[in-house]
Every structure is written in C-alpha cells, then in structure tokens.
Amino acid sequence: MIRSAFPLSLNLLKRNYSNVAPTTKLFIDGQFLDSQATDWVDLYDPATNNLVTKVPKCTHKEMETAVESSRNAFQSWSKTSVLTRQQLMLKLQAVIRRDIKKLAQNITLEQGKTLADAEGDVMRGLQVVEHSCSAGTLLLGETLQNISKDMDITAYKLPLGVTAGICPFNFPAMIPLWMFPMALIAGNTMVLKPSEKDPGATMLIMELLNEIGCPPGVVNVIHGTHEAVNFICDNKDIRAISFVGSDQAGKYIYSRGAANGKRVQSNMAAKNHAVVLPDANKNATLDQIAGAAFGAAGQRCMALSVAVLVGEAKNWIPDLVEKAKKLKVTAGHEPGADLGPVISKESKQRILQLVESGIKEGAKCPLDGRNIKVEKYPNGNFVGPTILTDVSPSHTCYKEEIFGPVLCVMTADTLEEAIDLINSNPYGNGTAVFTTNGSHARQFVNEIDVGQVGVNVPIPVPLPMFSFTGSRGSFHGDLHFYGKQGLNFYTQTKTVTSLWRKGDAAKTAPSVSMPV
Ligand code: NAD
C-alpha cells in the first residue's frame, strides 16, 4: 500500500486518540484527532435523551487540513492500479460484514432505529461496496478502431480529484457507503461530512479503513453544520459534491456548489404514495404498507407516507388500523421492537404539529400515536403509528414531508385519478402499486411520473447495479447515486484520437484544411 507523506501541518494535530465518547473525533490523514472547535453539537440517545457524545463543529483550519490531506492523497491514489482499489473494497466488504452487529448497535444508539433496521442500513451500504468490487468492469472505457483512415479513438473514465459527501441522519451507514466506495474505485479521494446527529457509524467505518490499510487521506472526515457545508461548497480543490438530505439544504448546496463550478448530485425529500387497487391481495398489501409507513419510525426517504385507496379498497381502513396498532414501539435495542423513537425532541414536536394541523384542516385520526407512553423509556422521542384519513391535497400534512410514523390515507375512484394525484405532487422519489391485475400494473408503470416504482413492492430501492433514481422535486442533478450513473458522476471522460501510419505514409505532410 502506498502511504502518502504526512504533511508538516498535520503533525501538530496528530495524537493517539481512539474515537470513543465523550467527544467524536475528526479523521484526518488516517488519524483520529481531537477537534479544537469551540462550538459543539450534543448528541443524545433518542430513546433516553442521555448524552452520548459531543460532535465538534470543525474549525476552518481543520477543514483546510482535511482537504489538503485529500489533495495530497489524490496524487498517489489516482495512480494506483484498478486492482489495488478493487482489493481495498474486497477487504472493506469483509470487515463490514464481520462488524455488522457492532455498526448496528452504534446506529441504534445514536439514531434510534431497531437493531434489525440498523443491520439493514449497513447491508444496503455493503451492497454498494460489493458492487464497487467490480471496479475493473465498471471503469472500462470505450474504443473504436479506424474512426478515420489509420485513426483510432479511445475514451477513458478518469477520476476528478477531491470529492465531498454531505450526509443525512436517517441512514448513518448506508449513505456514506453510497458515496466514498464509488468515488474511491474511480481514483478519487473524499472529504466526508456525516450528519452531526449520528456520525458514529462513519467513524467506525473509518477505523475499518485503517485496519485494511487504506492510505491516509484517501478519506477524511470533518464534522459540523452550515459552516462545514459552506466550506465544502466554496473550497476550490473540491470538484464534486454528493448530497443526501432535506430540500432546504439540498437546493442550497446544489446552487452554491454549482455556482462554484462543481458537479453536484442532490437527493432530497419525498412524499411516496402507495396505490391500493381493490384486486390487490388485501392481507399482504396492508402488511407491506404498515411496514413501509411506520418502519424506522417513518424516517426513510422511501417510506410510504401516503396510501391512496382506490374503489372498494376504501373499506380497508379498519384493517390497516388494526395492523398498525399491533406494532411494538420501544427502544431500538429491545427485543421485538418494530419501531423506535424519532431522532430528536424537535423532530417529535414538528411531527405532532403536522398531525395537529391535519386534524384542524379536516382530516380524521382513527389511530393517534401522539401521546404514546413507552414505560421503560419515559424520556424518549417516541411517536406511535398514526393514521390520518380524509386527507386532501391542500392539507399541510399532505404538502409537507412529515418524516415520522404518520400515514396519510386518501381515496380515489379510479386508477387514473390516483395517477393524476401522484403526478401532481412535486416529489418523485418513489411510489408503489398493489394489484393482481397485470394491465393495471402496466398502466401505472407507464403513466406514473416518479423515478422509482414498485409493483407489489413497497420500498423499491434499486440494487447497486442500477442507480437510485428519484426524480422531479426529490432530485437535483444529472447523474444519480451508485450504479453506472454513480460511476459517471465520479469520473470525467478523456478521449484520445490517435493517428499511426506506417512507412512513407507517415511522412506525408498533413493538409491544413479542416478534415471532413
Ligand atoms: P438535513 O438536510 O437536515 O441534513 C443533511 C445534511 O445537510 C447534514 O449533514 C446537515 O449538517 C446539513 N444541513 C442541514 N441543514 C442545512 C442547511 N440549512 N444548510 C446547509 N446544510 C445543512 O437532512 P436530515 O434531516 O439529516 O435528513 C432527512 C432528510 O433527508 C429527509 O428530507 C429525507 O427525505 C432526506 N433523505 C433523502 C434521501 C434520498 O435519497 N432522496 C435519502 C435519505 C434522506
């Protein structure tokens, strides 16, 4: 493994810290460092509101040092063989798989989701690592012989340089793993900013990168909020930004990053509708909707947050309520937990306000989880499964992403009406139709204007050989995360046109007129 020379400025920061509480460290040039920050974010266990760690808002100097480290590392990392990069990912997938439970425990502690969900979080990221192990194939360029007489063209996929990743709180392992493995196999380096609300999984993954011999500086981790984001958007050495998070931040980062000449891919908020046709398998469909609406406390960007019941399926609401009632709400590490707490007190407050607004604006609430008591965890940010019916498109609870365990139920007389409703919504992250009728399913797939569509599949997140293709208001950019598009996002194309002639032909003076 190539080890880049440790820059002088970094020696001042270099100490022998591990990344355990009470403070979250920076990861710069392969070292876990104490931040000199004066401003810190307190991170609380969402199930108890006990302090877990303090996360620094990095100083400007620390962020500069991180980029300097990534810039230095790029010099050697971009020249490593594709097989070297591929082998790093093969090792990474083995150690992540080995430590999946440890990672999941950290996710449950900091983010609150159930252990099973937390393992799923790691698994979906691991799949991208596994996909990136085929770097050799993914990076193949194109070539065409005899494009003109004795002339050939070859197109190479080359790295960009230093890239950056800005992550949300809801998938603390999966989203960083959507980003840096794809960037690295293409020969880039990356500065990662995990969510200040749960950076622990990223830090554990950095320990794994050190264990497998990843050269220092290939990935650096900084922490912070708006200032760190502004720094990334403005820094002249950062060539591309991958962002996943809310609309407000995503639109801002997209504009500010692009104005500074950077490539930006920005995955944002969602309002995902499930269309239930009366010919669907009732029991299986309602189980799937309950799981996709309330699982992970509704804090998935692909959560089904709106159910559109068509025709006779309008009568299925009582059965849906019964299924939702049975879900067990408790701390994520408790056996049998179906959903844990939401991320913060502020988030809980916001969810409760949106439910309240729905009721005030005319919705009914046959299942109200606002006052749930979870005995062992009286201080947790729990919201029980909540169902709002009679919701209309003008209601605030429909117009805004709630990001909590709240399902809005709407009705439609026909499939066409349901499709119109969804196509009129500004978001296009995901949707699903439940039916046993092939022609209805086909009509839905053809006419729906949403980037990720499930047919009898509630959360249709594509596997990494495809890309995550949210559309319209849920995405800004041209190239999506992972898969072929992800690789294209992290590479630039160089085309080489070569003319090789033999003997006297090579000595002929070329014409000065434009070749045709
Ligand atoms: P968030 O936007 O609050 O935070 C995401 C990142 O942006 C964090 O690193 C944060 O520090 C930074 N940030 C927050 N506010 C900012 C601002 N005003 N200006 C600049 N930077 C800012 O998002 P979140 O609450 O952590 O995550 C939940 C959101 O992410 C939901 O809207 C969800 O739908 C979305 N999400 C989307 C996808 C997708 O693929 N479409 C996946 C996961 C989550």
| pLDDT value of residue 506 | 87
Q: What spacing in Å lies between the alpha carbon of 97 and ligand 1's midpoint?
A: 27
Does the C-beta of 41 come closer than 6 Å to ligand 1? no
Q: Are 461 and 303 in contact (CB under 8 A)?
A: no
- AA identity, residue 64: E
Positions in the chain short of pLDDT 70: 1-21, 515-516
| pLDDT value of residue 504 | 87
Does the C-beta of 196 come closer than 6 Å to ligand 1? yes
Alpha carbons 32 and 24: distance in angstroms, whole number: 9
For residue 248, which atom of ligand 1 is closest to its CA? 18
Query: Among 200, 183, 175, 188, which residue's Cα sits nearest to residue 125?
Result: 175
Does the C-beta of 165 come closer than 6 Å to ligand 1? no
Atom 34 (ligand 1) nearest CA: 269
Q: What spacing in Å lies between the alpha carbon of 122 and ligand 1's midpoint?
A: 19
Q: What spacing in Å lies between the alpha carbon of 484 and ligand 1's midpoint?
A: 24
Does the C-beta of 267 come closer than 6 Å to ligand 1? yes
- AA identity, residue 317: I
| pLDDT value of residue 516 | 62
Atom 23 (ligand 1) nearest CA: 245
Alpha carbons 467 and 452: distance in angstroms, whole number: 10
The string of pLDDT tens digits covering residues 292-341 is 999 999 999 999 999 999 999 999 999 999 999 999 999 999 999 999 99
Crossing angle of helices 317-325 and 282-294, rounded to 10° = 50
Does the C-beta of 474 come closer than 6 Å to ligand 1? yes
For residue 196, which atom of ligand 1 is closest to its CA? 11
Q: Are 317 and 365 in contact (CB under 8 A)?
A: no
| pLDDT value of residue 513 | 81
Does the C-beta of 61 come closer than 6 Å to ligand 1? no
Alpha carbons 18 and 24: distance in angstroms, whole number: 9
Atom 38 (ligand 1) nearest CA: 301
Does the C-beta of 32 come closer than 6 Å to ligand 1? no
Does the C-beta of 168 come closer than 6 Å to ligand 1? yes
Q: Are 316 and 307 in contact (CB under 8 A)?
A: no
Q: What spacing in Å lies between the alpha carbon of 412 and ligand 1's midpoint?
A: 32
The string of pLDDT tens digits covering residues 197-210 is 999 999 999 999 99
Atom 16 (ligand 1) nearest CA: 249
For residue 470, which atom of ligand 1 is closest to its CA? 41
Q: Among all residues, which ones are annotated catalytic?
A: 301
- CA distances in angstroms from 5 to 66, 75, 217, 480, listed in the order given: 14, 11, 10, 34
Atom 43 (ligand 1) nearest CA: 301
Angle ∠(474,345,360) on CA atoms, nearest 5: 70
Q: What spacing in Å lies between the alpha carbon of 244 and ligand 1's midpoint?
A: 6
Phi-psi region of 296 (alpha: psi -120 to 50; beta: other; left: phi over 0): left
The string of pLDDT tens digits covering residues 422-475 is 999 999 999 999 999 999 999 999 999 999 999 999 999 999 999 999 999 999
Q: What spacing in Å lies between the alpha carbon of 363 and ligand 1's midpoint?
A: 28
Query: Which of 43, 170, 474 has most ligand 1 atoms within 8 Å of its beta carbon, as the pocket-test mutant?
Result: 170
| pLDDT value of residue 178 | 98
CB-based contacts of 510: which residues, under 8 Å, 6+ apart?
A: none
Query: What's the complex ipTM?
Result: 0.99
Query: Which of 57, 227, 246 has most ligand 1 atoms within 8 Å of its beta carbon, as the pocket-test mutant?
Result: 246
Token pair in block for residue 193 = 């900013």
Does the C-beta of 167 come closer than 6 Å to ligand 1? yes
- CA distances in angstroms from 359 to 298, 353, 354, 449, 484, listed in the order given: 19, 10, 9, 29, 45
Q: What is the pTM of this model?
A: 0.95
Does the C-beta of 383 come closer than 6 Å to ligand 1? no
Does the C-beta of 170 come closer than 6 Å to ligand 1? yes
146 burial type by CB count under 10 A (0-12 exposed, 13-18 middle, 19+ buried): exposed
